Structure 1
Amino acid sequence: MQDWFIVAIRTLVAIVVLFIMTKLLGKRQVSQLSLFEYITGITVGSLAAYIPLEVDGTWYLGVVSLCVWVLVSLAIEYFQLKSRRFRGIMDGVARVVIKDGKILEDNLKKERMTADELLELLRSKNVFRTADVEFAIMEPSGELNVLVTKENLPLTPKNLGIKVAPEQEPQTVIMDGEIMDEPLSTIGFNRGWLAVELEKQGVALENVFLGQVDSYGQLYVDLFDDQLKVPQPQEKALLLATLKKCEADLEMFSLSTKDKDGKKLYEECSKQLESVIKDVKPLLSR
């Protein structure tokens, strides 16, 4: 039998065995690796490369060694799940390196990390002053997690007491100048509606590279010609402005009329409309 054919068969066997072993080890093998998992990944790859290229009759020993490595790795993962102490021995423990803006030099030395390396990791988290850090911890995976002081936290709608409507996945209704009927029907629209929306924006279907409809029924398009600019949909902004104008008109009517019953009616309608605007504003402000 030709050597090239033998190598080809053994390579296929190695690929199948390596795939099965990798599936057994789980997804952590390709994400955040511990020290032992890192060593296991290198060793398993080396053993898999050994199997097809070993010209002697002992090539199957590579498969045996590969299976032993995987079984040991599975056993270690099992004991890690069962014992926190064993997990600490294998993966290490998290260490606080900054607390209340002060660098803990002793813990930094235990992590074998210099001040320059710590500052580099902080900059990767968009933190440029250690005084702005409330708490920084070095995880066993080697990642630095940082909690900045409250006054340096970014503002969110929740901090301001603003309710924001939940965002749903946009549907792609046009791709490469072709209409995608299934996503279009999923959101309850048809080709006629899409044609009207494209006409509003003054865009021809064949010029659209990508078209998406958000959860509020607004169409956003990206054209093949990047030099052309398409105005953003303004339906929600116009609706919100119209509601505010109606509220202002009602208030003006209540001030201008001399009829007591009419004044009271205008004021009540104005307050009701103000409540409606407050409820729908999160939906119309996105």
Structure 2
Amino acid sequence: MPGWLEVAIRSFVGFLLLIAIARMYVRKPIGETSHLEFGLVASIAVILAIGSIQLAIPIGHLLVAILVWAGAAIGIAYLSVMNASFRSVIYGKGIPIMKDGKILEDNMKKQHLTTDELLRKLRAKQVFQVADVEFAVLEGNGELNVLVKKEQQPITAKMLNHQVAPIKEPETVIMDGKILTEPLATRGLNQEWLKTELEKKNAILENVFMAQIDEYGQLTIDLFNDKMQVPKSTELPMLEANIKSVIASLETFSLDTENPQAKQRYKWCVEQMKKVHDDVSPFTKGN
């Protein structure tokens, strides 16, 4: 067999093996892998790369090396999932760097973390003042996780006791101009509904690059032609406006009538419609 052909075959097989090992081993971004995980994958890649061009290395020896390194990597990953003590030994535990708003200098020295690095990691978390930090921990992969003080945390709807609409995962129903039937079925919809919604937006399927159904059941689309403007949905804003119009009309009727019973009924209707408005507004304003 010609040398160039053997190199090509080895390289192709090595590429396939690397993909298979990587998929079995770990599914993490490079920035979230530990030094050990990165080292194991890099070692396997180096073995495959060298074995692809060093024809003097027998195939059997190359396979043994791959089996040992890949088996060790997969075995460590499996044991780490099954045993917390083993996981702590291999990857280490999170080390507090700040506690109760104070920097723990001794822990910084143990982790070889300089003040400049601490400030840089804090800035990466959008924290520019050390005084704003309540607690910070350095994870095994070198990432710094930060808990800011209560008064520095953003206000949430829960803090205000405000009701908000539940969030559903958006479903992509058109991709690259093709309809995806499974996401449509997940929402209990069909292609006829989709075509009707596209007609409302003066769009045809062939012109739609991507379309998604948001948490409120509204269809949003992106066209192949970036110069074309897509009209915004008006259904929920119209519902909000109609409810307010009904409330205003009922209040007017209540003021105009001289009948005490009718006035009382109109006021009761106003109260009921205001309750409806309070229940619906999280959905209409979220659009």
In the superposition, the TM-score normalised over structure 2's length comes to: 0.82
Could you tell me how far 1:144 is from its partner in structure 2? 0.8
Partner of 1:279: 279
Partner of 1:5: 5
- Give the letter for the 1:145 counterpart: N
2:178 and 2:62 map into 1 onto residues whose CA distance is 53
Residues 1:198 and 2:201 aligned together? yes
1:181 and 1:23 map into 2 onto residues whose CA distance is 26
The sequence identity of aligned pairs, in percent, is 38
Post-superposition Cα deviations, 1:14-63, rounded to whole Å, max 9, x if no partner, equal 23443443344343596732222222112111111122222225343122
Contact 1:29 1:41 in 2 (8 A): no
C-alpha root-mean-square deviation of aligned residues, in Å? 3.1
Aligned pairs (5 A) from 1:252-271: 252-271=252-271
Post-superposition Cα deviations, 1:153-197, rounded to whole Å, max 9, x if no partner, equal 112222222222233344556667x684845953761534532x1
- Give the letter for the 1:186 counterpart: N
- Give the letter for the 2:117 counterpart: E
Post-superposition Cα deviations, 1:54-107, rounded to whole Å, max 9, x if no partner, equal 222534312212211223334434544455443323212211111222211111
Residues 1:120 and 2:99 aligned together? no
SS, match of residue 137 in structure 1: strand
Aligned pairs (5 A) from 1:25-36: 25-28=25-28, 32-36=32-36
Moved more, 203-212 or 10-19: 203-212
- C-alpha change, 1:46 and 1:160, in structure 2 (3 Å) is same
How many residue pairs get aligned? The number is 281
Could you tell me how far 1:136 is from its partner in structure 2? 0.8
In the superposition, the TM-score normalised over structure 1's length comes to: 0.83
Post-superposition Cα deviations, 1:228-266, rounded to whole Å, max 9, x if no partner, equal 655532321222122122213222322332211111111
1:208 and 1:23 map into 2 onto residues whose CA distance is 33
Aligned pairs (5 A) from 1:95-174: 95-170=95-170
Contact 2:22 2:41 in 1 (8 A): no
- C-alpha change, 1:27 and 1:235, in structure 2 (3 Å) is closer
Contact 1:100 1:131 in 2 (8 A): no
1:224 and 1:28 map into 2 onto residues whose CA distance is 33
- C-alpha change, 1:211 and 1:73, in structure 2 (3 Å) is closer
Runs of 5+ in structure 2 lacking a partner?
none
